[in-house]
Structure 1
Amino acid sequence: MHNHAYHNYEQHNESTSRIAWAFFLNVSFTIIEFIGGWLTNSTAIMADAVHDLGDSLSIGLAWILGNLSERESTSRFSYGYRRFSLLGALINGIVLIIGSIWVLSEAIPKLLNPEMPVIEGMFGLAVLGVTVNGYAAFKLSKGKSLNEQMLNWHLLEDVLGWVAVLVVSVILMFIEWPILDPILSIAFTIFILINVLRNLWATTKLFLQATPNDDTANTIRESLLSFAEVKEIHHLHFWSLDGEHHVMTAHLELSKLIEPTRQLQLKTEIADRLSGFGLEHTTIELEFPNEPCRDQ
């Protein structure tokens, strides 16, 4: 048991170390991107810098929350600290939307009056971008945690984005099409905005305690109603702490009086049935026939 706990502790430390390393690498490169985008007069690089800023926030929050989520629950935070990740996702989404609007305000006027970027600098940053993000993605690909897997996809997106900047910079070396730069930045930004708005809406629903999955909620209801002693279910609440760890509470109205021994047995059977749903917390209240519900 001790060895298992130590192994888990070691795995957590390795995961945290990889995420921390990726965070500092990404933040450093994001700063270089903003400076490079300004010096090369490239809105495409600026657009990717905003994307990388969002990824840096995601990685930083994953690093902080990865440690915070290990904390025990307290009397003040009785469900623990997992819900903080939703707050982090909301902040991240808002920052990305503001950044994307700023990039569009810079890029759209350049469609009418395109300016040639400094091609050599654009090419050099693109090579550096592919190398840095590719190496960070390679490092995180060794991780098995959900955080690392999700962040790895973010970094792979960055690699593809820099490949696009690299291709455009090579084209501009041979053909003077300065309009390619704002077109690429607008395409980047619209892609980012679509994904951010979709994720922000999903996060907001969870933040407002919407049901994380209607099909799962219906399956849970049907599963509880399948017990012969259960006549009806009310006050069934199914919500999520962070999108991965869910909570469920329900009042089960019994069809008849049952002995304490059977009550205990029924609770055990319900617990076994619910174990397949991976619920973090469950609260089940049994109500006998004609017993008034205090929550009505």
Structure 2
Amino acid sequence: MHDHTEGQSSKNIAVAFWLNFCFTIIEFMGAALTNSTAIMADAVHDLGDTISLGIGWVLQKISGKPATKKFTYGYKRLSLVGAFVNAVVLLVGSTWVLFEAIPRLWAPQMPMAEGMAVLAIFGVLVNGYAAYRLSHGHTMNEKVLNWHLLEDVLGWVAVLVVAIVLLFVDWPILDPLLSIGFTLFILWNVLKHFRATLRLFVQASPDTQLYQQVNSTLRGMAQVQEVHHMHLWSLDGEAHVLTAHVVLKQPLDAQASVELKEKIADALAAFHLEHTTIEFEWPAEDCRDS
């Protein structure tokens, strides 16, 4: 089931990459035909998105490879690297858009509205479909890539609205105003994903509520006296890893230990953890990690 999810994630990113790549070429051609600097700037931005999608696609494929002696947890964490790189690209790109758009508030330029409208409709359809493909993903990589595409969709919606209005009135200032609005919206959302990615990089707990629930589950076992050195972290935002020292109320023989391990495994199954390592300690035993 998990292999199917990995394969679907890679396929979704591949579709988004090729759609974005082909449309970027069309954008550059459209910018030349319409003599629109706004569309040219969007084409440059989409070129950056295409590069990010390509990196994300490669890393997503590599992340599904099995574990080795060197990468004992496998390559899933490379997917997180892709999420980090893409978030940085999106942050830099959005900041650049703001630096380009804000000065135009004082010196707005009248674009070619007819050509803008045609390209905008095409842009909404292409990027909207690509974003839809990635919207069902669960990995941090897919989430960040999805915001790349949503930024493009909102950008083309803004271009379409401006183009329609400019067909009837001479208000070129609407172009920078809408650009600034949707860019700030995207920045706000991608910063949240960027923060979550950084937390995973420093191996912070992916979910404090999940941590408490797992801890309570272990402590609730009849044979368990105490739980310490419990660590919960995530490989890629979806596959979580748990390690814990469990102090028993009394020593157990081999058969009883096996039965308790099975009981713990059944109890933890509800949390869908990727890896679990539980170490038993006797009541009077000194913890070797103290």
**Does the TM-score normalized on the shorter chain lie above 0.5?**
yes
What amino acid maps onto 2:41 in structure 1?
M
Alpha carbons of structure 1 residues 95 and 34: separation in structure 2 relative to 1, 3 Å: farther
> Aligned partners of 2:233, 2:69: CA distance in 1, in Å?
20
Q: Tell me the equivalent position of 2:50.
A: 56
Q: Tell me the equivalent position of 1:295.
A: 289
Q: Is the 8 A contact 2:158 2:175 kept in 1?
A: no
What amino acid maps onto 2:36 in structure 1?
T
Alpha carbons of structure 1 residues 160 and 233: separation in structure 2 relative to 1, 3 Å: same
> Aligned partners of 2:11, 2:154: CA distance in 1, in Å?
25
> Aligned partners of 1:41, 1:58: CA distance in 2, in Å?
23
1:112 to 2:69 alignment: no
Q: Tell me the equivalent position of 1:201.
A: 195
**Residue 68 of structure 1: SS of its match in structure 2?**
helix
> Aligned partners of 1:12, 1:215: CA distance in 2, in Å?
26
Q: Tell me the equivalent position of 2:215.
A: 221
TM-score, normalization by structure 1: 0.84
> Aligned partners of 2:101, 2:37: CA distance in 1, in Å?
11
Q: Tell me the equivalent position of 2:37.
A: 41
Per-residue deviation, residues 132-161 of structure 1 (Å, max 9, x unmatched): 2345457x38x9764698567864664454
What amino acid maps onto 2:114 in structure 1?
E
List alignment gaps of at least 5 residues for structure 1: none
Say which is worse superposed, 29-38 or 230-239, in terms of deviation: 29-38
**Residue 292 of structure 1: SS of its match in structure 2?**
coil
1:236 to 2:230 alignment: yes
Q: Tell me the equivalent position of 2:262.
A: 268
Q: Tell me the equivalent position of 1:84.
A: 78
List alignment gaps of at least 5 residues for structure 2: none
Q: Is the 8 A contact 1:54 1:92 kept in 2?
A: no
Per-residue deviation, residues 180-208 of structure 1 (Å, max 9, x unmatched): 01111111211121112111001100111
**Residue 132 of structure 1: SS of its match in structure 2?**
helix
Q: How does 1:139-150 map to 2 (within 5 A)?
A: 140=133, 146=138
Q: Is the 8 A contact 2:138 2:238 kept in 1?
A: no
> Shift of the alpha carbon at 1:221?
0.5
Q: Tell me the equivalent position of 1:168.
A: 162
TM-score, normalization by structure 2: 0.86
Q: Tell me the equivalent position of 2:245.
A: 251
Q: Is the 8 A contact 2:147 2:186 kept in 1?
A: no
What amino acid maps onto 2:227 in structure 1?
I
Alpha carbons of structure 1 residues 266 and 53: separation in structure 2 relative to 1, 3 Å: farther
> Aligned partners of 1:286, 1:165: CA distance in 2, in Å?
62
Q: Tell me the equivalent position of 1:71.
A: 65
> Shift of the alpha carbon at 1:86?
1.2
**Residue 42 of structure 1: SS of its match in structure 2?**
helix
> Aligned partners of 1:35, 1:196: CA distance in 2, in Å?
29
